[in-house]
Structure 1
Amino acid sequence: MKNLFLRFVGCAFILLMVSCDKLTKATDFITQPTAREIYARNFKTDSLPYTLWKTAFTNALKDSLTIASPYLESGRFNPERFPVYSYDLRLERGRSYTFELQTDTLNPLVFIDLYEKTSDSLAHFNLIEQAEYNSKKLRFSTKKEGDYKIVVQPQLGAQSTFTFSLSSTPAYSFPVAGISEKAIQSYWGASRDGGRRSHEGVDIFADRGTPVLASVDGIVGRTGNRGLGGKQVWLREGLFGNSLYYAHLDSIIARDGQRVKIGDTLGLVGNTGNARTTPPHLHFGIYGRGTGAINPLSFLKQESVLKAADVDTDAPLDYLIKNNVANLRNSASAKAKKIGVLNRNDTIQVLGVVNDWLHISTQGAKRAYIHQSLVRPL
């Protein structure tokens, strides 16, 4: 009888736990808690380590280091110092950005938060995107150019090597077959008609008859032979709500109202319209709904791929300044803004390595970049 009772209690406990788990998942589906809020369930609110972890995150929002895509940094998390990595960056419209952290086999939790800077004096940042719980990757497509901040923080006690990367890809496929943006020879804003107007697009030079392609799925709005653009095709897309303008075509293949996929042929490269005296090329323009012409370059350009360096797990984390004076920069470049100075024998902690530069924290907890040639191991 006693064994039967214990079985009953055990089954009831299991059912209760399953029910609680289902209830939590159902509640989360409605309330959509952030990854940080889910992590907080593991701690008491007055837990000192967790409080220090949250404070480190809050302080990181005040950092002003600047990066740009592509970016690659390698390093080791120091669990004794509550590491947080915070960067300012400007994101361009028409690009898809990927923020990714790779760690070693210990595979700690990592939190990646993307903020948009605001003009609000009380709330300087607005959280707009966050990596999912248990994910080390965040993808974001910008609908508008602006200033942002990305914050990366590992879980409490994380001991791991890491590589943090930022990369981007264009939102649109290149509109001329068989070539790349290297064929662009006239850019946005170039003077036209003796300065009476400026170029609202880019000119992509190619042999006459080269296929002109749909850069995105969409609907052909209209085609025709008219005005400065000569033979032209307008393509409406739904991703950004833009209209794509293909001009100076030698011939038109697409039809009004036709649904097209990326890579479908819309026409052939030519020099009709006011391009009769120039070599064959495609004038490619983008027009936003209610915003007018948009610089197409960010929608098309590719970027170089950076290769991650191996992390030396035996390398020291603490260094001394070996020169009389060492400049601190806000980016990993000698041309970057100077944000401070250190003197001989000042101590720094290395947070990461970017090419020949160190991402560091000073004794006063100031974050900066310093060239490797200016320091020596402690």
Structure 2
Amino acid sequence: MKKLRLSVKHILVVSFFVALSSCSEKGPMALFKKMSPHDAYAQRLKDAGLDRSAMGNAWLQKSETSVTNALNIDVPYKETGYFSAEKIPAAALRFNAQRGQKLHISLSKKPTQNFAIYMDLLEERNSSDRKLVASADTIGLLLDYEIKTTGKYILRLHPELLSSGEYTVSITSGPSLSFPVSAMGKPSIGSFWGDGRDNGGRKHEGIDIFAPKLTPAVAAAEGTVTNVTENKLGGLVVFMHPNNRDYSLYYAHLDKQLVQNGQNVRIGDTIGLVGNTGNARTTPSHLHFGIYTNGGAINPLPFVDRAVKNPKPISAKLNLLDATARTINTNTRLYVQPDEKAMVRTTLPISTVIQIEAATDDWYKVSLPDGTQGYIYSKNVIPANTLRKANVKTTQPLLDLPDTLNGARITTLASGQAINIKGSFKNYFLITDKNDNTGWMEAERK
């Protein structure tokens, strides 16, 4: 694997500058208070001229390439990984989220001190248009965000330069609103958004929450009651506008309305009592709950869905984090995400060398020597210790990449020199020589 060597000069310059700027409350750093912590740090590197160094430029480039190459996951999700300073690392995870969900992202790290990581959540509108919607630095290890637009999102984790350590990130989602029917009635959702109505003449623009008659229908958010009225379909209804939101909540089929126009309510305050007024007279008592925006009705389920799932515990062994490993089975599959039903990115021959970056469930997140990333079952890999011993047949270079054109020469292997072969990738062997140099040599023809 290619490593970026850090000079003593770089280390001293970055350590001094970052330590100075991170403690500054006045002067030039005050200009960056409106930036995200990640962007403010990037600006400090540029101001110090470190963007012109190999190390600083690699860090800035990683900000972009990690997002472009983000791996796909499903929420809930949890991974434990390792960031090695010499590799200038970052991690990016892409997932789908629905409007009304509230994301809960937590990050823990070892060591807790002198290991700084920036968390950034980006909304991905298309492959070239991404918008930063939330961020946190290593001090704020929790990030909560209410999804405003259904679509794809990317979480980026990017450590500061010269920071090494283990991290664990967990992503879960839950409702952004409280449930609109009191728990005392043991409510259950029995009809969903889009269900057919009037023999297919229209679609259901809400959810029906069934509960015994006169069960309290309660405020799902703090806000203001905007309309207490009656209509043909909904019967006795109440509209309320949650504070700092761009939509209104709609309570229908109430048996009684217990609020007035203009009344301020808090979460859990009784709006009315569940009934079956309007066109629900022939059905069991329930609350029709809807959400309306300027563009019309939207699906309210993600806003109130109580079915919150936790990520699976990590069962893959963590002692291989940041380790060079190899496959032990023929035709080992590398998946685009940790799901055996997901698309297979490529199939790997036995003894293929991989770098283990993180663990999730019983999977490893890995990268191949050519930079290809994906997920592989943890049971399919072992540490890349000596596979077999051999002797070099002809003098040839030992490279830092399995690539004759782009790999840099580490040393020269002499004809007859003893080597330990650890694995392979395409037409190259990963080897260690008698001087403990590790690198790639081109496979020799028999």
With structure 1 as the length reference, what TM-score do the two structures score?
0.86
- Which residue number corresponds to residue 211 of structure 2? 206
| Counterpart code for 1:257 | G
Aligned with residue 298 of structure 2, among 291, 294, 298: 294
SS at match of 1:80: helix
Aligned pairs for 1:173-212 within 5 A: 173-178=178-183, 183-212=188-217
1:116 aligns with 2:131: no
Alignment-derived partner of residue 79 in structure 2 = 73
Q: Which residue of 1 aligns with 2:402?
A: none
Q: Which runs of 5+ in 1 are unaligned?
A: 1-16
Give distance in 2, aligned partners of 1:356 and 1:143: 33
How big is the shift at 1:35?
A: 3.4
Compute the displacement of 1:199 (Å): 0.6
Computing the radius of gyration from Cα coordinates, the structure with the larger value is 2
Is 2:164 the counterpart of 1:159? yes
Contact 2:51–2:57 (Cα < 8 Å) also in 1: yes
2: distance between equivalents of 1:30 and 1:209? 50
The answer to whether the aligner puts 1:333 opposite 2:339 as a matched pair is yes
Structure 1: distance between partners of 2:33 and 2:58: 29
Q: Distance in 1 between matches of 2:346 and 2:183?
A: 48
Cα distance, 1:64 vs structure 2: 4.1
Name the CA distance, whole Å, in 1 between partners of 2:353 and 2:112.
29
Gaps of 5+ in 2: 1-20, 385-446
Distance change (3 Å), C-alpha of 1:83 and 1:60 = same
Equivalent pair of 1:64/1:330 in contact (CA under 8 Å) = no
- Matched ranges for 1:246-285 at <5 A: 246-285=251-290
Which among 135, 140, 154 is matched to residue 135 of structure 1? 140
2:31 is aligned with 1:27: yes
Q: Which residue of 2 aligns with 1:6?
A: none
- The residue identity in structure 1 corresponding to 2:121 is L
> Are positions 1:102 and 2:108 aligned together?
yes
Indicate yes or no: 2:411 matched with 1:376: no
SS in 1 for 2:261: coil
- Matched with 1:304 is 309
SS in 1 for 2:72: coil
Q: Does 1:49 align with 2:30?
A: no
Are 1:173 and 1:216, in contact at CA under 8 Å, matched by a contact in 2? yes
Q: Please show how residues 311-330 of structure 1 align to structure 2 within 5 Å.
A: 314-315=319-320, 317-330=323-336
Cα shift at 1:340: 2.1
> What is the Cα deviation at residue 255 of structure 1?
1.3
Instruction: Considering Cα pairs closer than 8 Å and 6+ residues apart, tell me whether 1 or 2 has the greater RCO.
Output: 1
AA matched with 1:341 = T
Distance 2:186 2:303 in 1: 11
Distance 2:31 2:331 in 1: 56
Q: CA RMSD in A?
A: 2.6
Matched residues, number? 357
Asked whether the 8 Å contact 1:181–1:301 carries over to 2, the reply is no
Letter of the aligned partner of 1:115 in structure 2?
L
Deviation, structure 1 residue 180: 9.7
Partner of 1:3: none
On the 8 A contact 1:161/1:313 being kept in 2, the answer is: no
Deviation of 1:181 (Å): 9.7
Residue 242 (structure 1) shift = 1.0
Name the counterpart of 2:247: 242
1:200: Cα distance to partner? 0.5
User: Counterpart of 2:357?
Assistant: 351
Task: Give the whole-Å Cα distance in 2 for the aligned partners of 1:328 and 1:30.
Answer: 41
Aligned match of 1:225: 230
Question: Given residue 259 of structure 1, which amino acid in structure 2 is its aligned partner?
Answer: N
Report the CA distance between 1:50 and its aligned residue: 2.1
Letter in 2 for 1:79: A
Distance 1:312 1:356, change over 3 A: closer
Say if 1:76 and 1:351, in contact at 8 Å, map to a contact too: yes
TM-score (norm 2): 0.74
Q: How far apart in 1 are the matches of 2:180 and 2:99? A: 18
Distance 1:329 1:94 in 2: 30
CA-to-partner distance for each residue in 1:65-108, whole Å, 9 max, x for gaps?
11232211112223332221112122211122233321023431
Local SS of the residue matching 1:100:
strand
- Counterpart residue identity of residue 91, structure 1: A
Aligned-residue offset at 1:295: 0.2
Matches of 2:105 and 2:99, distance apart in 1: 16
Maintained 8 Å contact 1:214/1:266: yes
Distance in 1 separating the partners of 2:44 and 2:116: 9
The letter of the residue matching 1:118 is R
- 3-state DSSP of counterpart to 1:234: strand
Sort the Cα spacing of 1:43 and 1:163 in 2 relative to 1 into closer, same or farther, 3 A: farther
Aligned residues of 1:174 and 1:180 also touching (Cα < 8 A): no
Three-state SS of the structure 1 residue aligned to 2:104 is: strand
Secondary structure, counterpart of 1:176 in structure 2: coil
1-structure distance, mates of 2:173, 2:314: 20
Deviates more, 1:291-300 or 1:53-62: 53-62
Aligned mates of 1:44, 1:209 — CA distance in 2: 67
Give how far 1:307 is off: 6.8
Alpha carbons of structure 1 residues 124 and 144: separation in structure 2 relative to 1, 3 Å: closer
- 1:125 corresponds to: 130
Q: 1:189 to 1:32 in 2, by over 3 A?
A: closer
Shift of residue 286 of structure 1? Answer: 0.5
The 3 A distance-change label for structure 1 pair 182 and 336 is farther
